[in-house]
């Protein structure tokens, strides 16, 4: 299924410096007489030895019958295209991977999350803040009166694009730091970073920074800026090269925080010790590490598989770009990317009753904090669906998922960055966790959503607790 982390059928419209950080060489065709093309051109992510110069990487790829789309020298990762399968043998299968090469026919039910026609698409801009149970839960409504967030803080929304014309978002969107990453190289043209087939990114963006103007909704940090970094393609996939491009772009642009409400396709759990997957794992790991080293805090959702990520056993959903993936055994070498990578603040979801949403993945020493993601089994007077109200192109809509929980945490992190200018990602992550409101495991295991919760100060469901916007602006 698509890797944006909305529960199926909840979101309307989802089909989800000396040297520059990045060097994009001119695309030159390989030598044709020794490069037989036996199929369509495929895109690959390629690992190089650290320190490899761009010219060296380009020469090696060209000799192997490929063309370089982008080369990220700081992390020695390239994005390459070629129609010649010989590329794999010449570069070595232990350092090259194409997610698209494994793709097959995809059933509509598994390839793209189906739209829910019951979701609201009202274009009326009447004040709907009373429906935002999530903002009340995190104290954001009160926090905005103290600190709405600084225009000097920017949150990069690595997602499906942000609607630049939405009245609740137009004030926040920084077009100059927005880009599309769908071919693994950043494209600054508006058509590259605007939404096309999905409302997901616009929904996430509204939770972070929708305007506090008495109309529509209000975000956690309405005073901060947003950058639209489009990594989700029109089929709902986020392949490794897209994610690498997104993190590198955030680092290059001086973005303070990124929100990542997705997992990197095509593997729900990408295994660092499996052929092909280890290349994807390492490429994304390098990109996240570089972003962290460039003062970017990465915030990510745990995912909607309901898995104990501290002890994964079986993955029944991967690869998700084929019609019927077979169950496979997984272990501790297999991670949800980027959520389980070092330096990433990982967010689980709770419903309106403050209980873990049944779909939310969890895990001791995996989850850092929790955020409101909504749960249809926990309806409230403010939301009969139990889901989270936010912006979508043309209006507003409800959605449930860890995709909705993560931007609450990113928004609170943005408030912290506003109150503590100059703080690095480790400091912001520590503040976010230390100020969270603890949510204890049920005394005797509780109902099904809470069965299996373990831990004391930091438990497997909620980490350090529910993010607290009011604490972020007053402590």
- For 393, the token pair is 């192109």
Q: Assess whether 469 and 420 both reside in one domain.
A: yes
Note whether residue 110 is domain-resident. no
Q: Let me know: does 36 contact 84? Beta carbons within 8 Å.
A: yes
Q: Assess whether 375 and 418 both reside in one domain.
A: yes
Alpha carbon separation from 278 to 148, 270, 329 (Å, rounded): 42, 8, 16
Q: Assess whether 199 and 304 both reside in one domain.
A: yes
Q: Considering only CA atoms, which of 448, 312, 291, 360 is closest in space to residue 5?
A: 360
Q: Which domain holds residue 218?
A: 116-474
Q: Assess whether 173 and 147 both reside in one domain.
A: yes
- For 363, the token pair is 């895990």
Q: In this model, does residue 286 exceed pLDDT 90?
A: yes
- For 85, the token pair is 């399968």
The answer to whether the peptide bond before residue 266 is cis (omega within 30 degrees of 0) is yes
Q: Assess whether 243 and 331 both reside in one domain.
A: yes
Domain boundary (79, 102, 125) is at: 102
Cα angle 230, 338, 27; round to 5: 50
pLDDT at residue number 127:
95
Segment 29-41, tens digit of pLDDT: 444 458 887 788 9
pLDDT at residue number 372:
98
Number of neighbours of residue 190 by Cβ within 10 angstroms: 13
Q: Assess whether 131 and 210 both reside in one domain.
A: yes
Segment 62-91, tens digit of pLDDT: 999 999 999 999 999 999 999 998 999 999
Comparing 24-28, 403-407, 460-464, the range with the smallest average pLDDT is 24-28
Q: Assess whether 224 and 85 both reside in one domain.
A: no
Portion of the chain with pLDDT greater than 70, in percent? 86
| Pairing relationship of beta strands 297-301 and 344-350 according to DSSP bridges | parallel
Please state, rounded to an integer, the average pLDDT across all residues of the chain: 89
pLDDT at residue number 451:
55
Q: Assess whether 281 and 366 both reside in one domain.
A: yes
Q: In this model, does residue 465 exceed pLDDT 50?
A: yes
Segment 299-343, tens digit of pLDDT: 999 999 999 999 999 999 999 999 899 999 999 999 999 999 999
Q: Assess whether 133 and 43 both reside in one domain.
A: no
More confident residue, 13 or 139: 139
DSSP string, 332-370: TTEE-TTTTSTTEEEEEEE-TTSSB-TT--B-TTT--EE
Q: Assess whether 98 and 120 both reside in one domain.
A: no
When divided into structural domains, the chain yields a total of: 2
Q: In this model, does residue 8 exceed pLDDT 80?
A: no
Place of tokens 């939770």: 207
DSSP string, 411-458: HHHHHHHHHSTT--HHHHHHHHHHTSBP-PPPTT--SGGGTT---SSS
What distance in Å separates the CA atoms of residue 376 and residue 371, rounded to the nearest whole number?
16
Domain boundary (51, 76, 102) is at: 102
Rounded to a whole number, what is the distance in angstroms from the first to the last CA of the chain? Answer: 41
What distance in Å separates the CA atoms of residue 309 and residue 184, rounded to the nearest whole number?
28
Q: Let me know: does 122 contact 396? Beta carbons within 8 Å.
A: yes
Give the side-chain half-sphere CA count within 13 A for 440: 4
The CATH number of the domain holding residue 457 is: 3.40.50.200
- For 405, the token pair is 């929980």
pLDDT grade, residue 226 (50/70/90)? Answer: very high
Place of tokens 């990045």: 22
How many residues can be counted in the chain?
475
pTM of the model: 0.91
Q: Assess whether 186 and 317 both reside in one domain.
A: yes
Cα Rg of the chain (Å, integer): 21
Alpha carbon separation from 109 to 170, 228, 269, 290 (Å, rounded): 34, 28, 20, 36
Note whether residue 441 is domain-resident. yes
What distance in Å separates the CA atoms of residue 394 and residue 155, rounded to the nearest whole number?
22
pLDDT at residue number 443:
59
pLDDT at residue number 459:
77
Place of tokens 């990220």: 72
């Amino acid at each position: 299924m698509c890797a944006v982390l909305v529960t199926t059928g909840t979101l309307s419209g989802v089909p989800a410096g000396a040297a520059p950080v990045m060097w994009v060489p001119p695309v030159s065709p390989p030598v044709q007489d020794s490069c037989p093309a036996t199929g369509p051109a495929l895109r690959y992510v390629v690992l190089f030895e650290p320190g490899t110069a761009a010219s060296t990487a380009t020469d090696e790829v060209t000799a192997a019958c490929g063309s370089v789309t982008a080369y990220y020298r700081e992390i020695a990762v390239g994005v390459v295209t070629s129609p010649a399968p010989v590329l794999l043998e010449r570069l070595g299968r232990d350092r090259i991977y194409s997610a698209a090469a494994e793709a097959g026919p995809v059933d509509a039910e598994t390839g793209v999350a189906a739209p829910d026609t019951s979701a609201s698409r009202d274009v009326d801009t009447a004040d709907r803040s009373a429906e935002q149970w999530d903002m009340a839960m995190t104290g954001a409504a009160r926090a905005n009166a103290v600190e709405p967030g600084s225009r000097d803080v920017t949150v990069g929304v690595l997602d499906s694009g942000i609607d630049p014309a939405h009245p609740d978002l137009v004030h926040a969107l920084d077009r100059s730091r927005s880009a599309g990453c769908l071919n693994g190289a950043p494209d600054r043209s508006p058509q590259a970073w605007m939404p096309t087939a999905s409302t997901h990114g616009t929904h996430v963006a509204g939770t972070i920074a929708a305007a506090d103007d008495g109309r529509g909704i209000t975000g956690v940090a309405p005073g901060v800026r947003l950058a639209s970094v489009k990594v989700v393609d029109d089929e709902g996939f986020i392949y490794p090269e897209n994610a690498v491009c997104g993190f590198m772009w955030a680092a290059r642009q001086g973005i303070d925080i990124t929100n990542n409400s997705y997992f990197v396709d095509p593997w729900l759990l990408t295994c660092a010790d499996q052929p092909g997957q280890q290349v994807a794992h390492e490429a994304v790991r390098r990109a996240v590490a570089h972003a962290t080293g460039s003062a970017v805090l990465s915030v990510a959702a745990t995912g909607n598989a309901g898995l104990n990520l501290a002890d994964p056993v079986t993955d029944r959903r991967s690869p998700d770009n084929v019609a019927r993936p077979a169950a496979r055994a997984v272990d501790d070498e297999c991670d949800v990317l980027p959520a389980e990578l070092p330096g990433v603040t990982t967010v689980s979801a709770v419903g309106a009753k403050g209980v873990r949403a049944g779909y939310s993945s969890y895990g001791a020493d995996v989850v850092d904090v929790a955020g409101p993601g909504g749960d249809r089994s926990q309806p409230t007077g403010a939301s009969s669906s139990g889901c989270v109200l936010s912006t979508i192109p043309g209006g507003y809509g409800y959605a449930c998922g860890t995709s909705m929980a993560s931007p609450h945490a990113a928004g609170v992190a943005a408030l912290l960055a506003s109150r503590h200018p100059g703080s690095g990602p480790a400091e912001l992550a520590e503040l976010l966790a230390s100020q969270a409101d603890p949510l204890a495991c049920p005394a005797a295991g509780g109902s099904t959503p809470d069965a299996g919760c373990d831990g004391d100060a930091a438990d497997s469901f909620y980490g350090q607790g529910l993010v607290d916007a009011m604490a972020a602006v007053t402590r």
